[in-house]
């Protein structure tokens, strides 16, 4: 008789099981495998963490494709970049075998290198960035974020700020809700 389906479309034994579970949970809820009273409000446990910030500049030329104005013509900026890396764990790096750093500063500062050495300095950004990245400060920040993300240990959260001129900054960062 175990296979007799009820009108709810579930097996009888499953129904009995559900009744037991609902009685068991009456006024309670299960959180992380633990039964707790449903009126108890759970607050996130604060986790101590490290936050590194490094800043650098690079000088490059660019134009914004189809931009109706001076930014559509080839021109240059001294870009200022800040990269922030956050983690509650320390890691080893390519250069250091011991788990003593969030991420090696060297892996965060790659973009300041000369374009012939894999960086963005003294290049034409429209030629360096893959075509899916336009050369707005927004997309330069995303590009630096995307490349840096591949160079830092898993779980390290990143925020990249880019400034073309002293007036304006752009930020690109991990989605808080992902952690
Ligand atoms: N949201 C964005 N807007 C603009 C970007 C950008 O990357 N993101 N870029 C440009 C141009 O590249 C331009 O070089 C910078 O423009 P602007 O801020 O106007 O530069 P100035 O410092 O010369 O501004 P002033 O107000 O004239 O001093 C445009 N927009």
Residues in the chain where the model's pLDDT stays below 70: 1-25, 31-32, 177-179
**Mean pLDDT taken over the chain:** 88
ipTM: 0.89
pLDDT at 1 (0 to 100)? 42
Beta carbon of 148 within 6 Å of any ligand 1 atom: no
Angstrom distances, CA of residue 132 to CA of 92, 96, 140:
33, 34, 11
Determine whether the shortest distance from the Cβ of 138 to ligand 1 is under 6 A.
yes
Using CA atoms, how far residue 104 sits from 41, 108, 118, 153, 171, in Å, is 39, 7, 17, 9, 21
164 within ligand 1 shell (Cβ under 6 A): yes
Contacts of 16 (CB under 8 A, 6+ apart): none
E strands within the chain? 28-31, 34-37, 50-62, 75-87, 157-163, 170-173
The residue whose two tokens read 């490290």 is: 50
Ligand 1 pocket mutation pick from 62, 70, 71 by most atoms within 8 angstroms of CB: 71
For ligand 1, atom 9: residue with the closest CA: 136
Q: Is 17 a catalytic residue?
A: no
Give pTM, 2 decimals.
Answer: 0.78
Q: How far is the CA of 174 from the centre of ligand 1 (A)?
A: 25
- Of the candidates 106, 119, 111, 103, the one whose C-alpha atom is nearest the C-alpha of residue 152 is 103
Domain boundaries, the chain: 50-173
pLDDT in tens, 151-161: 999 999 999 99
CA 148 to chain centroid: 10
Annotated active-site residue 98? The verdict is no
Span from the CA of 145 to the centroid of ligand 1 (angstroms):
21
């Amino acid at each position: 008789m175990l296979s007799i389906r009820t009108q709810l479309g579930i097996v009888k034994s499953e129904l009995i099981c559900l009744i037991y579970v609902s009685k068991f949970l009456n006024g309670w809820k299960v959180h992380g495998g633990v039964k707790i009273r449903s009126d108890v409000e759970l607050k996130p446990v604060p986790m101590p963490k490290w936050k590194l910030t490094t800043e650098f500049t690079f000088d490059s030329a660019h134009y914004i494709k189809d931009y109706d104005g001076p930014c559509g013509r080839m021109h240059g900026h001294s870009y200022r970049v800040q990269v922030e890396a956050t983690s509650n764990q320390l890691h080893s790096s390519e250069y250091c075998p011991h788990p003593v750093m969030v991420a090696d500063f060297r892996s965060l500062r790659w973009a300041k290198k000369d374009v012939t050495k894999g960086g963005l300095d003294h290049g034409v950004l429209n030629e360096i960035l893959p075509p899916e990245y336009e050369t707005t400060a927004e997309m330069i920040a995303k590009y630096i974020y995307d490349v840096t993300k591949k160079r830092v240990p898993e779980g390290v959260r990143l925020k990249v700020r880019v400034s073309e001129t002293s007036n304006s900054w752009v930020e690109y960062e991990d989605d808080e809700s992902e952690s």
